[in-house]
Amino acid sequence: MAKSKAAKQAPVTAPPRYRFQYAVKFLCTANLPGTSQTSTAVLPGVYQTAVNIHNPNAQVARVRRKLAARTGQITPFVDGQLKPDEATSVDCSQVQNFGVPFIHGFEGFLVVESTLSLDVVAVYTAGARGGEVASIDVEHVPERRLG
């Protein structure tokens, strides 16, 4: 009788468990009265958001991000990771990387989910069309624990 060899099985890797979520108000638009970029959502001016994400942990954090637009469109998640003490950012120049048409700007939320607790800070700037920054606000984004 021949000996049967047990088939070698590749180890099964469980999908990452995203335990933390951050919902960041994300505004990249302009209200330019008399143009096709007229909006009732904000006062006349130009508005930009930059979100800084930092991993303060000693382990690699798996991170995924998506955009949820005010119009109801929700993009698929974009996966990534942050090494210990590594930081990244998402700003208005990256909206199109999520597959959202960027014709007259974007208003909605950047949703960040992570396997570890992160530092998430939003930087909001506003100014006149073609002018310098007139206002800046820096907000710490609280985390929400997921099931």
* Per-domain residue ranges of the chain: 20-145
CA distance 48 to 22: 19
Name the nearest CA neighbour of 91 among 48, 37, 140. 48
Runs of H (alpha helix) within the chain = none
The CATH architecture assigned to 20-145 reads Sandwich (2.60)
Q: Are 89 and 70 in contact (CB under 8 A)?
A: no
Tell me the pTM: 0.84
pLDDT in tens, the chain (147 residues): 555 555 667 677 778 899 999 999 999 987 777 776 666 777 778 899 999 999 999 999 999 999 999 889 999 999 999 999 999 999 999 998 998 776 778 899 999 999 999 999 999 999 988 878 889 999 999 999 998
Q: Are 122 and 51 in contact (CB under 8 A)?
A: yes
Please give the helix or strand (H or E) that residue 44 lies within, else none.
none
